[in-house]
Copies of this chain bind each other. A is one copy, B any other.
């Protein structure tokens, strides 16, 4: 539980459908809330922007597959903040009707379990759908196979044929979006920034973080739509923007950037 909720029930939009991993993350971050299933990551952002939800929960990075592009793009194009994060180990099961010719899964889940599926379900057609819980729903409807969570398999009455089918330790970081962040509890700070296309520009941007001893936990570049081969950088660092050395590093980096927006300083919960 990361937010104040004296009296009113908080409304939390999440990437659905129900029983998705993001649903579980939303329950962990905001227990006892009213949960609103959205059909896409963009829809979660829209729900919070339009005050239909107080918070939104979406995946932002997976330890096998990297960043979630749709989340990064929406962080750049909206003014929402990161209010909290949750890192959870993801365990996938193979479920459904044994011997079925088709298998549903989220594209990331299919890649994360690729080698296990070659062995467990050789020659089975793999169909990518929008989420692991959608995969379970389809498998139940059509008598097919799927890769999903234990909970989604149970919710759709599917038999679990194999556990832990992911090819390696697999963590996903989820973030809670809101109109405000929690700098006072900020163990991590996230920014979006961009630098000129010239020698040394990224190096000069990073200099203040090195000189102030701020540890960068993640740096992703993401193409800017409409400007081929130009990039925004998404950078996570340890500490809050209320910490003096983080604040000074951010101020100096801002002067060396084309723009620099602080997405938030926030606590990071560990799961499941």
Q: How many residues of A contact B (CB 8 A)?
A: 46
Q: Which of B127, B197, B216, B225 makes the CB contact (< 8 A) with A127?
A: B127
**Docked-complex contact A229 and B199, CB < 8 angstroms:** no
8 A–B contacts from the bound complex (CB under 8 Å): A62-B223, A63-B223, A63-B229, A70-B111, A127-B129, A200-B210, A203-B209, A203-B210
Asked if A66 is at the interface of the complex by the 8 Å CB criterion, the answer is: yes
Distance in Å from the Cβ of A96 to the closest Cβ of chain B?
18
The CA-CA distance from A220 to B229 in the complex, in Å, is 12
Name the residue on B nearest A206 (C-beta).
Answer: B203
Bound Cα distance from A226 to B169, whole angstroms: 6
Question: Contact between B199 and A66 (Cβ–Cβ < 8 Å)?
Answer: no
- The chain B residue sitting closest to A169, CB to CB, is B228
Chain copies in complex: 2
- Any B CB within 8 A of the CB of A3: no
Q: Give the contacting residue for A220; candidates B129, B213, B216, B220; CB below 8 A.
A: B220
Residues in chain B near residue A209, CB distance under 8 A: 199-200, 203
Interface residues of A (CB under 8 A from B): 61-66, 69-70, 107, 111, 127-129, 167-171, 197-200, 202-204, 206-207, 209-211, 213-223, 225-226, 228-229, 231
Contacting residues, chain B, for A198 (C-beta < 8 A): 215
User: Nearest chain-B residue to A212 (Cβ)?
Assistant: B199
Least CB separation from A107: chain B residue: B107
